[in-house]
Chains A and B, each alone.
Chain A
Amino acid sequence: MLTLIRREIRDHIVYFIAAVIFSAILVAFITATRYNLDWFGSAVFGAFSVPLLVILVLGFSAMGVTQMYLDRNRKISAFLSVLPVTRSRILTARIIAGLLAILIVLVPVTITATVLERIFAPPIPASSGYTAEILTTVFLMAFACYCLGLLNGWTANKIAPTIGALGLNFVLVSLVFVKGFGQDIKFLLVLVIVACLIRTWQKFMSTSL
């Protein structure tokens, strides 16, 4: 499994490098915002973070599309199948690699946000829920978009996955504007992730390589 994950990372190293760079940008953005904006300007902070959120989730979706599209068209899984590897392991390794990329972006951001909250936020327990709620939603949104990318990428057509994934991602990201960062959006996103993974799994397992 580790070999498969390493292979996935090596094959899509561009996305991992981009994740590191994006993570650094986000950390710098959050730090700068905290030092320059009033603590109560959370709405302003939210408005600034929206474009970054869109870029983030589109990036992960693109990663999912690329992983599946290249596999299908370069017959990577067909090649791997001659080795003692099952298809389910290939797909699991792919999903773990995607999760790693998401965590590369979000773990430093979470640490930074927590540290800054400890430094700047008033020491009252009632104001500590923001960071956890927002970052959980962003994580689920990024993973949902990644799963959508996986679902859309498994095709021989070049335009359909690009346009389809792009459109669907914009629609899905708009869910944040409709529902905010509460419990109901998390529930919906978990269901979307599960549904997308089931569909991807079924497609990947049943299609001839």
Chain B
Amino acid sequence: MRSRSNYLIQVLAAGFIVLVFLSLSLFWASWTCKSILADIMPLDYRTVDITPSGLVPADFESDPNMLRRSGAHAHIIHPEAPQSLGFMNYFLGRSPAGRHSDVYLLKYDNEAWHWIYFDSSTGRIVCRYEIKERMPDATIKRKMVQIYVGPEGISETPGEDTGRFTSPIVDISDIGWGRLTLYDKKLRQFFAVKFRKELEFIRGPQLPEDTPYRPVDIGLLSKNPSVLDLYWMPPDIKISKNNQDRTLYRSGKTHTPIRERDSDYRADKYMLVLDESGQIYLLDRETLEFAGPAGRLPAPETFFPADKRVTPDDLLAYRVLPMILKEDHKYRGLFAAVVSREGTALALAVFDEKGVCIESEVTRDNKQGVSSSSAVFFGTPWAPVITIGKFLLENLHPPILSLASYFTANSFEAGSGHRAMLLLPNSFIAMKGRDARENIATRFLSALLLILPSIVLAILLAIRVGKDAAIVGLSRKTRRLWLLGTIAFSLVGYITYKLTRPKITLVTCANCGKPRRPDTGICHCCGSKWDVPELTPPAWRVTNG
């Protein structure tokens, strides 16, 4: 019994080692294929332009002196950039102001540290910043101030009880202007702190549990900025040099952009809030109350058409750019660009000030009229070869894990899918799992077709293992387990069997003449014992003549 359990432990240990090493090797091979596909992806497949933008008033767009209309431009930089791998992702995410960092600001300026961070042990946000005091003799004195912000208010001493934040989502885009806005997921409340000139604490109303709002990102909405670029181009109108407006017109030029650029963007009345459903809302910056819908993340066209309502977790990258005209500081609408989970498709949408989509565009191969997510696999020279290579590599993966990838296709955050080794959310079978067109049975059968090479390979290997196990003399139960294991894990099962196969020199059975194990009491072929009864000579004889 003990040796049997030892054998099981050995097999599991060897199987795990083989699984890790094979998965890791396949990961790099597949990553190379995806990187090459991303490299050879033409610019058309990764760029979207919307002109005119639709958010600039018609009197400007139809100006007779118009040199260039306004527009929005989005493009995929590189979906398989090293930043998407765990090593870079770890450092970028945890560095100050990173996506997974609790440190929102950290700088050494004027021989003093300035910081804003969330102290998880006390549940408060700690801000240390510099203020300038004008002294009676007109000199300016610099002074460092540290404040502790909790849901109950602000204190200047660490001991004072101001409550605890548990999981704050912080907008760091206004820190430079001395404002910090945050949302606490557990308290379901927005808070804002103004700390530059005078301390001011604003607490928004608590969101009732039955409301649909579940904010996941606030302020400048952006995910994986190294993957996606989005900017808007202001209209360019020819002007006369004696124009009185001094702010944006540069001397010596006959034309100039008349609207402020997104880099100068400064929201006044509203800020954006992204909900976990993908909906974008406007939040009043002063009252911290929702002021209505602003739009939603658009759905890119994927290889197998997926659900049209995407969530932030379904997307490899997104960027949202609100538009406010300089003249009236009135919110005009927003541009939202997203990159699909696999990094092969891009969608850009324009929403007006009421949150109605007025324009949307996706990446397409204009010559063939197919979406970029299909064209990237088959549309460019050599792409089909690399795609087939990627497909075959996926089919070397254990079929059971491929099926698990199919059933868990939507469960993983898109970015982590690019670092997945065992379950593959970006494999073809997982893409099929997200297919929204067919019913469950048809979709599952199509998915099985996608891993057919893998299943065939697993069956062939299982037959080989079964035959060898019979020769070696493994028991019927053990053979059956090996067969099932090899069908489930394919190459991993086969290599594990080869590594853990009993290394025994077989001897010839005296009864049946076939090879038998010397370490068992009976022959595994004929079932006879070692002491074969002596053959009784027949009574008859063959004689000559």
Contacts and interface: CB of A to CB of B under 8 A. Distances in A.
Interface in A109-146: 122-127, 129-130
Given A122-B115, A124-B103, A125-B119, A178 B24 contact: yes
B132 to A, nearest CB: 22
A192 B17 contact: yes
B16 interface: yes
B89 A199 contact: no
Given A126-B102, A130-B94, A196 B17 contact: yes
Interface residues of B, number: 40
A179 B121 CA distance: 27
A127 B106 CA distance: 10
Interface stretch (B80-88, B166-174, B267-275, B429-437): B80-88
A175 B24 contact: yes
Interface stretch (A22-30, A38-46, A65-73): A38-46
Contacts of B86: 176-180, 182, 185
A195 B21 contact: no
A198 B9 contact: yes
A151 B207 CA distance: 58
A171 interface: yes
Which of A39, A129, A177, A178: most chain B Cβ within 10 A?
Answer: A178
B95 interface: yes
B115 A195 contact: no
A157 interface: no
A171 B25 contact: yes
Given A46-B91, A125-B121, A188 B126 contact: no
A202 B108 CA distance: 56
B95 A43 contact: yes
Nearest to B18: A195
A172 interface: yes
Contact of A40 (B6, B96, B113, B119): B96
A21 to B, nearest CB: 27
Contacts, number: 99
A180 B91 CA distance: 8
Given A178-B24, A192-B16, A123 B113 contact: yes
B87 A199 contact: no
Contacts of A199: 10, 13-14, 17
Given A174-B24, A199-B13, A124 B95 contact: no
A176 B87 contact: yes
Contact of A177 (B85, B92, B120): B85
Interface residues of A, number: 35
Given A40-B95, A178-B85, A202-B6, A126 B27 contact: no
Contacts of A194: 13
Given A40-B96, A42-B95, A198-B13, A127 B103 contact: yes
Interface of B: 6, 9-10, 12-14, 16-17, 20-21, 24-25, 27-28, 85-92, 94-96, 101-103, 106, 108, 113, 115, 117-121, 126, 419, 421
23 contacts: A39-B108, A40-B96, A43-B88, A46-B91, A123-B113, A124-B115, A125-B119, A126-B102, A126-B119, A126-B120, A127-B103, A171-B21, A175-B24, A176-B87, A179-B419, A180-B89, A182-B90, A192-B17, A192-B20, A196-B17, A199-B13, A199-B14, A202-B9
Given A43-B92, A177-B87, A192-B17, 6 more contacts: A39-B108, A124-B117, A180-B87, A182-B90, A185-B86, A195-B14
